[in-house]
Structure 1
């Protein structure tokens, strides 16, 4: 890292913190802090939707994936399109029309308080499990490239994320996401430029070498249930997983409900998908070009793993200036996921637990302080978790792959019960979901269910719905007030009716 590289990274960090400070001047109530008073432009929210899921692992893993397998990973973006399309058709009118702050408020309106708490808890476990891994992965790369100790890198990335998230709320998160996504593209462009300018013949020569290496295939039509690089798996299994993430994950839903209306949210979602498609294609392109680059330059050392290809390239081939842009891009990719995780954690814990169950009289200022305090608390927890991973060397990735879908599958099942099946009552939704989780966990441990992990959401959600309906059929029908305007079949009765907070007293 040269002086110019450090200067670029420092300027980027100052701008991010400045956005948080500027946004903090308007943070006087929870409506502004959690949803930006629904005045954020749809295009900014659209970029924020994809920036949230575009982590440092995406920026590092994408080139490695392109290097190893070419453009096949791009098939997953068609699964994303299916997932987003289902969200627009099934969930979006309810989420925006009911004027929600968290997705799980809907579950209390449709079912009861315990189902709402179960849904929110599934989400919290998903994010908490992911937070330390996100922070460590980014910090490890920053440490490798800059030469600073990994613990210092963890502190820097973590503290900067905490500061601007606490200060600016969702407004700061969205606008920094826009900046961060732009920074990611600038960094990718710098990497592509460095690769193409590093060989005689430039882009054309690298493309020829990649073609000879069989790296230009985009579609694999074969039926391979265990492979994410198979189109049927990408469309069905990953499509349903994407539906669960986009439709029940508070990090995504918080952006939809920050839009002014349903058409704005719809445009934001489509922009988010398209920008994500372009972003993934760019990371894969960089990896394909790096394959050509090292094919023409004596290859990579044996100890460089796919996820480390970009780091190795930055350290050894990228000139000053471009290195700073790439490091800033890695910072950006990390923070765009970390700030969203922290803010959504605080929002859910404040709205779904503190505001819902606190015995004291509801107070805007108190709830705002609680949310800000929770961001600090969970930021510190994430830093400690990243320290633990750094000290033990144990990877969180196997845990995340296994349990992410275990949390999201049941969560999708609960929401689909509420929106699609009016006959399911509160006890059916709650106990059907719990029974489905137990069945899948026990079945997986005992070998009853031998299916690839990516299919877990596609299998768990229908099982939860079937069990929920069975339990509901042997008990009473849900009251009329729990379905009117709250299912897909009753949505015409929805007239933008707001949710009552903190306790939704009309359904107690």
Structure 2
């Protein structure tokens, strides 16, 4: 650890926090806080969407996954163009025409208050799990760099993010995300190049070792649904990204910040497509780490594995100054995503709960106060969840499983209301009940049904397919109920 690395790190991260705080205004309205005055250019919003994708999950867990296994996780990125197309073609015009900053107003219009609450609760649980995994991963490189306690790092980082997201609002979050996006891309590229040119025989040796050990594999192309095959990962990616673009408050809220519909469509496409080559860089870093430590086995301690390998290399393998830049870029990735989750979750608490059940028409001053308070509460809960991640072996696997479970198949409810105009409230209720039962069964059966006769009731499907089956069951049951029962009557 050098003084220069610490200086570089604090200059970059301190600059991000100060930039976010610079958007503070005593005269800010709740509309400026939640939709940035609907005046931002498309490229800024697109970079914000991209930075939301690239969290510390991507920056650390993707290389960790590629180092330990292969490129199967990259299949998730290949599903994004499908979701981006639907977003630009259907979702952006739909939400911009609604006039509500909440992504779940539509569900209340179609099926009633319960549908809005169900979706918003699923969203909040997903964001809390996401924040926890990201804050935990952010603490790993700082622990390796400075030797600080991981728990203390999680708390200090969270407080800094809460401050600038609360003071600056969504406009500060989006602009800082755009700047952070450039920093994290530069950091990842520099690290990949340095790693590959550090090989004794040059970059070609990296590819030779990786090909020999099948490290570029995208997974099995077999029909198994119990393993993370190519098809399981692709299907999971399609469903989770359709949910992100179609009903996730993080994305929907950004559609509304662009100054017009054309810019909003561009932002959806730009942000999604940019993630594909950048995620490829992250997986290449993991593969290069595998090759690097295979030819230099004495450089990596035996107790450093998985998500900890990349942070270890950053601290012990990079030149002075570059280490600080890499850790700053990891922080940029994580801080942007956590700030997004906090701001969007606070918006949901205001629009879907406070205005719905406490005060229908609060003053603007009161609304801003609720947003500030919600920021703090969500941030504190995120800290608690991050501390729970300390005992997790792979943050990426844990996050994918939790997001699949907490999503609750709410994409199915949205598609039921959006596609099937004949669906009634009772049809949606029936579909959600069946879908939640499927989600609970797939989530808990590996824990509850382990021995003897009960093992026959265990779910044979991979955990990532929970969102897939939950979505399909909700949509199909609701669709059949709306058409068959009505026809029989």
1:333 aligned residue: 333
Aligned match for 1:463, one of 459, 462, 473: 473
Is residue 415 from structure 1 mapped to residue 409 from structure 2 by the alignment? no
Aligned residue runs from structure 1 range 437-476, under 5 A: 437-442=436-441, 445=445, 447=457, 449-472=459-482
CA distance in 2, matches of 1:9, 1:430: 51
CA distance 1:93–1:245, change in 2 (3 Å): same
Question: What is the CA-CA distance between 1:291 and the residue it aligns to?
Answer: 2.4
Aligned partners of 1:409 and 1:458 also within 8 Å = no
SS at 2:383 equivalent:
helix
Deviations 1:217-272, CA, capped at 9 Å, x for gaps: 56864444344451x33333321222122222111211122223332222111111
Deviations 1:94-139, CA, capped at 9 Å, x for gaps: 1122133011011122232222122111111221233223212221
2:181 aligned residue: 181
Deviations 1:49-98, CA, capped at 9 Å, x for gaps: 12112221211122223334454433222212222323334433211221
1:496 aligned residue: none
SS at 1:28 equivalent:
coil
Is residue 153 from structure 1 mapped to residue 153 from structure 2 by the alignment? yes
Aligned partners of 2:47 and 2:271 also within 8 Å = yes
CA distance 1:240–1:387, change in 2 (3 Å): closer
CA distance in 2, matches of 1:449, 1:199: 44
CA distance in 2, matches of 1:360, 1:217: 54
2:452 aligned residue: none
TM-score norm. by structure 1 comes to 0.86
1:249 aligned residue: 248
- Tell me which moved more, 463-472 or 75-84: 463-472
CA distance in 2, matches of 1:400, 1:206: 29
CA distance in 1, matches of 2:57, 2:177: 16
Deviations 1:293-344, CA, capped at 9 Å, x for gaps: 2232236443321222212212321121011011112211221221111111
1:287 aligned residue: 286
Is residue 424 from structure 1 mapped to residue 416 from structure 2 by the alignment? no
CA distance 1:169–1:415, change in 2 (3 Å): same
1:99 aligned residue: 99
Taking only aligned residues, the RMSD between alpha carbons, in angstroms, comes to 2.6
Is residue 308 from structure 1 mapped to residue 308 from structure 2 by the alignment? yes
CA distance in 1, matches of 2:374, 2:186: 33
CA distance 1:217–1:16, change in 2 (3 Å): same
Question: What is the CA-CA distance between 1:2 and the residue it aligns to?
Answer: 1.0
Deviations 1:122-179, CA, capped at 9 Å, x for gaps: 1112212332232122213321232112122112211111111001111111111112
Gaps of 5+ in 1: 478-508
Deviations 1:376-432, CA, capped at 9 Å, x for gaps: 121122223334555xx4679576444422332421011001100011122322342
Aligned partners of 2:222 and 2:229 also within 8 Å = no
- Tell me which moved more, 348-357 or 143-152: 143-152
Is residue 265 from structure 1 mapped to residue 237 from structure 2 by the alignment? no
CA distance in 1, matches of 2:228, 2:259: 36
Question: What is the CA-CA distance between 1:365 and the residue it aligns to?
Answer: 1.7
SS at 1:236 equivalent:
helix
Gaps of 5+ in 2: 450-456
Aligned residue runs from structure 1 range 311-460, under 5 A: 311-359=311-359, 361-390=361-390, 393=391, 400-442=399-441, 445=445, 447=457, 449-460=459-470
CA distance in 2, matches of 1:133, 1:24: 28
SS at 2:195 equivalent:
helix
1:135 aligned residue: 135
Aligned partners of 1:157 and 1:331 also within 8 Å = no
Aligned partners of 2:225 and 2:232 also within 8 Å = yes
CA distance in 2, matches of 1:462, 1:360: 35
CA distance 1:399–1:221, change in 2 (3 Å): closer
CA distance 1:127–1:207, change in 2 (3 Å): same
Is residue 12 from structure 1 mapped to residue 22 from structure 2 by the alignment? no
CA distance in 2, matches of 1:430, 1:29: 37
Deviations 1:353-386, CA, capped at 9 Å, x for gaps: 1112224642122111110111012112222333
1:498 aligned residue: none
Question: What is the CA-CA distance between 1:435 and the residue it aligns to?
Answer: 3.4
2:204 aligned residue: 204
Aligned length: 474
SS at 1:423 equivalent:
coil
SS at 2:102 equivalent:
coil
